[in-house]
Structure 1
Amino acid sequence: MMGFITHCWKNVGFEFWIRTGCLVGACFLALSQAWGQSATLELVNLRANRQDNVLVLNAQLKLELGPVVEDALVKGLAVHFMAEAELMRDRWYWFDRKVGVVTRYYRLAFQPLTRRWRLNVSSEPFSVTSLAGSISQNFESLNEALGVIQRQSHWKVADASELNPEARQYVLYRFKLDVSQLPRPFQIAAGNQADWNLQVASQLRLSAEMVR
């Protein structure tokens, strides 16, 4: 009788550990897949057009933050982004000439007390101007805040007087997560993590209709 009970316990114990091992393995797989979702930054669309003697730029991005950056935001760290557009003119005899440059700065932060997200937008670096000199918006979710950053519409790049109808010109567009605005210890740590290395660049040639 004792041998029968022992044999049964052996079978039950073996099945228990097999099932437990499978469950733990499945949990680890799910967690690794969730944590392994990397950050994404893609330039979906970039176009320019003339509006009332002004050259404006429209950019559409696909921006998804990685878990490391999201965790830093929830813990109170503000994250900065920068969009830059340079108007360039071809020169066959030397480097292309920079006619002008415009920049947008974004500061994204989480507010623990209200559980809301605040986005500040400025044409000047936040290290130079205070938040009071920027446009501020509050959002219920992170996706809503990122949606504003992803859509850069009717952005004035240059006046018509700055365009030369006799020259070939293009706009050089860049967007990045600005690690230089992080506290120094975070800058060092972020250098080895792909989630913080978000940047994209593209060149848009201006048509003859745009520069006349």
Structure 2
Amino acid sequence: MRWCAALACLLALCWYAPAAQAQQHGEVSDLQLERGADGLYLSAALRLELPTIVQDALYKGISMHFIADAEVLRPRWYWTDKVVAHATRYVRLSYQPLTRRWRLAQSAAPFAATGLGVSLDQSFDDLPEVLAALERIARWKIAEEGVIDEGQSYLVNFQFRLDMSQLPRPLQIGAVGGSSWNIALARGARLSAQEATR
């Protein structure tokens, strides 16, 4: 009987640990889904707190790469939920020490060394201004119209995280196991059967 209680505690810790870890350095304060004529759109508001170590690296000219992921699931009572759509957005935040300007670039594909494939590139005067832009995601298309069935409810899992694999190698080694680098925000939302109907 005692081992059953221990197992229950262990399962509870495993269940809640990822959620607690995902809320480090901020939160997803708002997440909205909207079905349009051509697909499903996601809008989100983030509250991001950049750790001092990340800000120091930025001021030294080291770019920070973030990844936004959205997964659309159709619940199934007889099996695991079915993934019907997955969307990824790549964001690069950088500071130019010579010009003292901040740059924010967004792309639907990973950033190449040449910089090709960038869909949006903006400049800002200071860190609070660029963070305000980074923290807003407006009408991001995460699923095509053909995958959303009318009268069916869907779950959407959203995550926004720092891509530590894009850091320079010495920082990657130092960041392993360091909670200061572990920026990962997550939140889920449900698209009801009524909302899925046009």
Matches within 5 A, 1:1-212: 40-127=25-112, 130-134=114-118, 135-212=120-197
Gaps of 5+ in 2: 1-23
RMSD of Structure 2 on Structure 1 (CA): 1.7
Task: Give the residue type in structure 2 aligned to 1:72.
Answer: A
Q: Quick check: 1:191–1:197 contact (8 Å CA) kept in 2?
A: no
Task: Give the residue type in structure 1 aligned to 2:52.
Answer: P
Q: Give the CA deviation at 1:92.
A: 2.2
After TM superposition, the score normalised by the length of structure 1 is 0.76
Q: Give the CA deviation at 1:113.
A: 1.3
Which structure has the greater CA radius of gyration? 1
Aligned length, in residue pairs: 173
Q: List per-residue Cα deviations over 1:78-133 (Å, max 9, x = no partner).
A: 10111111111112222211111111111111101111011111011114x74232
Task: Give the residue type in structure 2 aligned to 1:107.
Answer: R
Q: Which runs of 4+ in 1 moved over 3 A?
A: none
Task: Select the structure with the greater relative contact order (CA < 8 A; seq sep ≥ 6).
Answer: 2
Q: 1:204 to 1:130 in 2, by over 3 A?
A: farther
After TM superposition, the score normalised by the length of structure 2 is 0.81
More helix by share: 1
Distance (whole Å) between structure 2 residues aligned to residue 141 and residue 195 of structure 1: 22
Distance (whole Å) between structure 2 residues aligned to residue 192 and residue 171 of structure 1: 29
Distance (whole Å) between structure 1 residues aligned to residue 168 and residue 99 of structure 2: 24
Q: List per-residue Cα deviations over 1:11-44 (Å, max 9, x = no partner).
A: xxxxxxxxxxxxxxxxxxxxxxxxxxxx731110
